[in-house]
Structure 1
Amino acid sequence: MMETRWAYMVHLFAWAGPILLLQLGLVVHHYRERSGAVLRAVIPPALVVGTYLAVADHLAIRVGIWNFGEGRHLGVYVAGVPLEEILFFLLTSLMVSLGLTLFTALLSRREARVP
């Protein structure tokens, strides 16, 4: 499987999947009934940043700064950027946004305990 065009996608989800599931579980656990609102506040900025990074990647590919080896991704492109690369930017941005949300939750719990 790692020598096929699915290699990038398999690595991407093996790397990001467990972290995202853990983060989502912790957000839902901590915020309980407000978790939907929190996720609606967190996801759009992650999508904006991920899209910005994908556009920057598109420009870098277009001017020849880098490219991707043939046969290691599905061959699906959006504006000249491999689908897996776009997913990488979106998932990474989402992990950062969820991480900041959890860090904020941790700080608020800590402040609530300080007399």
Structure 2
Amino acid sequence: MMDSRWAYFIHLMAWAGPFILLQAVVLRLYFRERAGPIFRAALVPALVVGVYLSIADHLAIAEGIWGFGEGKHLGIYLGAVPLEELLFFVLTSVMVALGLTLFLALLSRREARVP
């Protein structure tokens, strides 16, 4: 399976999935009923950054700066960008956005305890 067109997708999900799930669980435990709106708010900048990076990637691929090996991705493209590459940018941005959200929550909680 790792030498098939599913290789990139499987690696991506195995890499990002557990970490985003952990972040979502911590977000839910820490923010409780506000977790949903906070998660949705974190998705907006993550999607903006993911789309921006995908556009930059499209331009680089179209100019021949780099490319992707045949048979290592699903073959679904948005412009010149493989779907998995777009997912990589979006999932990475989601991890960063959720990480910053949780980090800032931790800082505010810590500051609230300091006299």
Q: CA deviation at 1:109?
A: 1.2
Q: CA deviation at 1:40?
A: 2.1
Q: Report what 1:92 is aligned to.
A: 92
Matched, 1:48 2:58: no
Q: CA deviation at 1:87?
A: 0.3
Matched, 1:83 2:83: yes
User: Structure 2, unaligned stretches of length 5 or more?
Assistant: none
TM-score, normalised with respect to structure 2: 0.97
- Please, what is the CA RMSD of the aligned residues? 0.7
C-alpha offsets along residues 30-73 of structure 1, whole Å, 9 cap, x if unaligned? 11111122112111110000000000000000000000000100
> Residue 25 of structure 1 aligns to which amino acid in structure 2?
V
TM-score, normalised with respect to structure 1: 0.97
Identity of aligned residues (%): 67
Moved over 6 A (4+): none
